[in-house]
Structure 1
């Protein structure tokens, strides 16, 4: 497959979406009476999905049809304006900012759909069929979501996300077309890795901002160091895995990478939020244990599913490897539920787990 390089404009594009994800993660820091109430989980997910899908939709277009031409740069720059509108509308008080959020989301998706319709005139055979299918079918979800502007209360959210769900499943129903014009796996992995890397950077900066160790406060200094090692361990596992163990020449529709990264990115946001919550001591002990280990379990499950089929056959993990990872997590979880340990100990346990996970998946 022809080599495809990530452009500087794509990296700039990623920065705006990383800021949107960071803003959304802040929703998980709203603690009331020692727990995060279900409404904040729901808001986190409902805000995260359209951000992920907006970025993913444009990334998939660039992966298949993108060229560093002037008109495609202009399309992406216009999209960035709508990203700014959408990001500035992200808030736990979502009702107050619904209209600008909708304008931002619809603007991003509409430009992506237009790009498919434009490029299909320049393509032929299978590639033309794919561009035509996506360029026409994506309008179904866009129109449904747009209709939410005419409703109030919970109905408009139901209409909005009905359109988003339709939009998301369009590629699944069109898989028979998409496999005829497969994605560039190397470029696709690089794009998702790029966004993930920026999120890691956001996690480090935001974590250090909250910790801010004072002179002589050894507990805070130790927590900062262990948290940094934890983040580096996750980084090591993800990026060494992608760089060394994944066969980038595999041709597919890329849907495992595409949809699986929703859960990878969400779990990373949850882990970043859990580090802050453990340091701030604002949540009940049992709640933070459940929240932390659920976040790590989500990351383990998502990365295992996403990368399994892309790993070189001789490097694919066996069932006993996954049994080991789950066993370690279960042992730490049970221990922490039986014996109340300091939060810094939980952080050490997570660090040890990711060191072991990285060892088995990258060497």
Structure 2
């Protein structure tokens, strides 16, 4: 911390892009509350593996993810690491902790608390944006627009507290729509010169991806810990780990800041928007994958895997691969039509498995999913020339 109190400063632009930036200790500490929040919302899905359960899981996951996104993009552009920013971020952490506490029954008795916690976190972010608008003339237009849009969304969430369910959730949806639309509808002229830092942003997104992958690993450990050790449960655990490890490999082997640097040089704000919104189905799929593996380990040996659990695992991994295929196709991560086709094709195979895999054992289903995920790693290595077959 360079001084006790200083105004926000612009961290992007041509000069700042030459600066090597990494996540700060404060950002890493901030991420800890999201570890808890993701774990809690995943627990909801574990308790209700159904279409309704998955939709509820996604509906609650989105505000958690968007709260992280808001702070990440603000810090990417304006982080000053002064005492004011630290204290405001600490208040946001308390709001996210409250969000995690209320997520267990977030669409029921705790929905009012969930809404208040989300609105409080957004209110702090709005304050930070208006603070940036006051001190950084170059960023005043964009910061004011973001602050205004996010303030409207926060007010909608706060009003929802006084509306009975299920009408309350309509205001939630409207608030999320305003939140999502605010960056999308901002004029390109406001973004130019204020594009996110091309090194800091991929690292931050990578860290959140690690958080949800960590939830998948925890699910494997919890699943095994709750069962009596036998060959089947141990094999399912190993295969579940292979799935998580393969998804980690094909994401982090292909991600870099090169696409963002090129987009920044060409003023292509669309690439940043695809980067932002294209990661949402990926992190939802990764979180759901861990829950699916945990259910598979919990299924007794000799029994066929139930249809909801089969759809959960196959659908979650397919969602991850579809998202990665989109990111490949648009060049947000390593631009490659071949890898994109492999991701899309494998996602289609997993959907087919979910449809026709009636009667398959848990070991059979997780084994097939692990195999097709591992083939993605092999294909990437072969295509890049790191693996040859003689």
Normalising by structure 1, what TM-score? Answer: 0.89
Aligned to 1:286: 307
* Equivalent in 214, 230, 234 of residue 201 of structure 1: 214
Aligned to 2:9: none
Aligned to 1:227: 240
CA deviations over 1:279-309 (Å, ceiling 9, x no partner): 2228853333333222122111112223444
Q: Secondary structure at the match of 1:259?
A: helix
Aligned to 1:350: 369
Structure ranking higher on relative contact order (CA contacts 8 Å, 6+ apart): 1
Alpha-carbon distance in 2 for matches of 1:70, 1:307: 40
Aligned to 1:173: 185
Q: What is the deviation of 1:180?
A: 4.0
* Equivalent in 254, 271, 275 of residue 293 of structure 2: 275
Contact 1:317/1:361 (8 A) holds in 2 = no
Alpha-carbon distance in 2 for matches of 1:330, 1:304: 12
Aligned to 1:104: 117
Contact 2:42/2:287 (8 A) holds in 1 = yes
RMSD: 2.5
Contact 1:63/1:184 (8 A) holds in 2 = yes
Q: Secondary structure at the match of 1:185?
A: coil
* Equivalent in 18, 23, 37 of residue 40 of structure 2: 23
CA deviations over 1:79-98 (Å, ceiling 9, x no partner): 11111111111123632212
Aligned to 2:11: none
CA deviations over 1:63-109 (Å, ceiling 9, x no partner): 11112222111111111111111111112363221232122101110
Q: Would the alpha carbon gap of residues 308 and 74 (structure 1) be closer, same or farther in structure 2, given more than 3 Å must change?
A: farther
Alpha-carbon distance in 2 for matches of 1:333, 1:171: 33
Aligned to 1:9: 26
Q: Would the alpha carbon gap of residues 311 and 107 (structure 1) be closer, same or farther in structure 2, given more than 3 Å must change?
A: closer
Aligned to 1:261: 279
Q: What is the deviation of 1:216?
A: 6.1
Aligned to 1:45: 58
Matches within 5 A, 1:1-363: 1=17, 2-31=19-48, 36-92=49-105, 94-125=107-138, 127-176=139-188, 177-212=190-225, 217-243=230-256, 246-250=258-262, 251=264, 252-253=268-269, 254-281=272-299, 285-310=306-331, 316-318=335-337, 320-331=338-349, 334=352, 337=356, 340-361=359-380, 363=384
Q: Secondary structure at the match of 2:105?
A: coil
Q: What is the deviation of 1:248?
A: 4.7
CA deviations over 1:332-355 (Å, ceiling 9, x no partner): 654672674322222222222222
CA deviations over 1:130-152 (Å, ceiling 9, x no partner): 11221222211111221112211
Normalising by structure 2, what TM-score? Answer: 0.83
Structure having the higher helix fraction is 1
5+ long unaligned stretches in structure 1: none
